[in-house]
Amino acid sequence: MKIEILGMGCPKCNQVEKTTKQIVSEMALDAEVVKVTDIKKIASYGAPMTPGVVIDGKLVHSDGTVPDKARLTTLIVNALASQD
Protein backbone atom coordinates (compact mmCIF):
# COMPACT_ATOMS: atom_id res chain seq x y z
CA MET A 1 0.00 0.00 0.00
CA LYS A 2 1.22 3.48 -0.83
CA ILE A 3 -0.24 6.47 1.00
CA GLU A 4 0.61 9.90 -0.34
CA ILE A 5 0.04 13.04 1.69
CA LEU A 6 -0.47 16.01 -0.62
CA GLY A 7 0.64 19.40 0.64
CA MET A 8 3.28 22.06 0.50
CA GLY A 9 4.43 21.66 4.10
CA CYS A 10 1.84 23.64 6.02
CA PRO A 11 1.00 22.64 9.61
CA LYS A 12 -2.21 20.92 8.47
CA CYS A 13 -0.36 18.78 5.96
CA ASN A 14 2.33 17.92 8.48
CA GLN A 15 -0.33 16.83 10.98
CA VAL A 16 -1.98 14.53 8.44
CA GLU A 17 1.40 12.99 7.62
CA LYS A 18 2.22 12.45 11.31
CA THR A 19 -1.16 10.92 12.11
CA THR A 20 -1.04 8.67 9.04
CA LYS A 21 2.39 7.35 9.99
CA GLN A 22 1.12 6.70 13.51
CA ILE A 23 -1.86 4.70 12.19
CA VAL A 24 0.34 2.67 9.84
CA SER A 25 2.66 1.86 12.74
CA GLU A 26 -0.15 0.97 15.15
CA MET A 27 -1.85 -1.27 12.58
CA ALA A 28 1.51 -2.81 11.60
CA LEU A 29 0.71 -2.24 7.94
CA ASP A 30 3.07 -2.86 5.07
CA ALA A 31 2.57 0.66 3.76
CA GLU A 32 4.76 3.43 2.46
CA VAL A 33 3.80 6.96 3.53
CA VAL A 34 5.12 9.62 1.17
CA LYS A 35 4.82 13.41 1.34
CA VAL A 36 4.08 14.99 -2.05
CA THR A 37 4.99 18.68 -2.26
CA ASP A 38 5.27 19.08 -6.05
CA ILE A 39 2.34 21.30 -7.05
CA LYS A 40 2.11 19.68 -10.50
CA LYS A 41 1.86 16.21 -9.00
CA ILE A 42 -0.73 17.43 -6.47
CA ALA A 43 -2.75 18.96 -9.31
CA SER A 44 -2.47 15.74 -11.34
CA TYR A 45 -4.59 14.01 -8.69
CA GLY A 46 -7.29 16.66 -9.06
CA ALA A 47 -6.96 17.75 -5.45
CA PRO A 48 -8.80 21.08 -5.12
CA MET A 49 -7.33 21.74 -1.67
CA THR A 50 -4.66 20.41 0.63
CA PRO A 51 -4.02 18.51 2.74
CA GLY A 52 -4.91 15.66 0.46
CA VAL A 53 -4.63 11.93 0.94
CA VAL A 54 -4.07 9.50 -1.92
CA ILE A 55 -4.13 5.76 -1.27
CA ASP A 56 -2.78 3.50 -4.00
CA GLY A 57 -3.28 6.22 -6.59
CA LYS A 58 -6.84 7.14 -5.57
CA LEU A 59 -7.62 10.56 -4.08
CA VAL A 60 -9.63 9.86 -0.92
CA HIS A 61 -9.49 13.21 0.91
CA SER A 62 -8.97 16.78 -0.29
CA ASP A 63 -11.51 19.15 1.22
CA GLY A 64 -8.95 21.35 3.00
CA THR A 65 -9.64 19.93 6.44
CA VAL A 66 -7.43 17.83 8.66
CA PRO A 67 -9.11 14.44 8.98
CA ASP A 68 -8.99 13.13 12.53
CA LYS A 69 -7.38 9.82 13.41
CA ALA A 70 -10.68 7.93 13.19
CA ARG A 71 -11.39 9.28 9.70
CA LEU A 72 -7.89 8.49 8.45
CA THR A 73 -8.15 4.98 9.89
CA THR A 74 -11.46 4.48 8.08
CA LEU A 75 -9.95 5.66 4.79
CA ILE A 76 -7.07 3.20 5.17
CA VAL A 77 -9.29 0.29 6.23
CA ASN A 78 -11.64 0.93 3.30
CA ALA A 79 -8.68 0.95 0.90
CA LEU A 80 -7.45 -2.34 2.37
CA ALA A 81 -10.92 -3.88 1.99
CA SER A 82 -11.10 -2.84 -1.66
CA GLN A 83 -7.81 -4.66 -2.36
CA ASP A 84 -9.38 -8.04 -1.58
In the residue annotation, 45 being an active-site residue is answered as no
In the residue annotation, 9 being an active-site residue is answered as no
Distance (Å) of CA 2 to CA 42, 69, 83: 15, 18, 12
One of 8, 10, 39, 43 is an active-site residue; which one? 10
One of 3, 5, 13, 55 is an active-site residue; which one? 13
Distance (Å) of CA 43 to CA 23, 33, 82: 26, 19, 25
The residues, any chain, with a CB within 8 Å of residue 39's CB and separated by 6 or more, are 8
Positions marked catalytic: 10, 13
